Amino acid sequence: MTARSKLEAYMGECAHRPVDIKLPRSLLGWEIASAIVRGPIRLEPASSHQSKFSHCSVSLRTSHGSNTIRHHNHHSGSEAGNAIEWQNERMSLPIKKRFASPLVVSFENHGLHLRGGTIGMGVLWLMTVEDSERHRISLPSKPYYLH
């Protein structure tokens, strides 16, 4: 018996049966896409950390792109308590491998003091977001250096 006939005999023994599976809506959709962020980005820090975040830029990153909203595009509203908002019209970030990619939101301070850099961040795994739908997303922010 030749190698080919052995393979055909082996393949002839396999039975392929259809499988009916129901996936959650967040796991349906495209693998390559764009994350579009519209509207202001709002942070509600504790009152003791308000001054640390008041001069920050917001950076949004995916595996294949990033965009930054500079600190001069924000305002602190007294009517909203301790909230800080960065104004944003529309931001588009490319995504490849959506089911294995996060959207990272980081708050960066690039001042003249010695301890500049990222002072807080939040992560959203894109596999949890349904495709082609609008969502208002709330992320917990993990503070880094806050003395």
Structure tokens at 55: 């001069």
Q: Other C-beta atoms within 10 Å of 146: how many?
A: 12
Assigned architecture for domain 3-143: Sandwich (2.60)
Quick: pLDDT tens for 80-132.
567 888 888 899 999 998 888 999 998 888 766 556 688 888 899 988 888 88
> What's the token pair of residue 76?
């602190």
Ramachandran sector of residue 97 (left: φ over 0; alpha: ψ -120 to 50; beta: rest): left
132-147: pLDDT as tens digits: 888 888 877 666 654 4
Domain residue limits, the chain = 3-143
Question: What is the C-alpha to C-alpha distance for residues 84 and 140, in angstroms, rounded to an integer?
Answer: 15
Q: What tens digit of pLDDT does each residue of 31-60 get?
A: 888 888 888 888 887 777 777 777 788 899
pLDDT for 146 equals 47
Q: Are 76 and 42 in contact (CB under 8 A)?
A: no
pLDDT score at 114: 56
Six token digits for residue 88: 């944003």
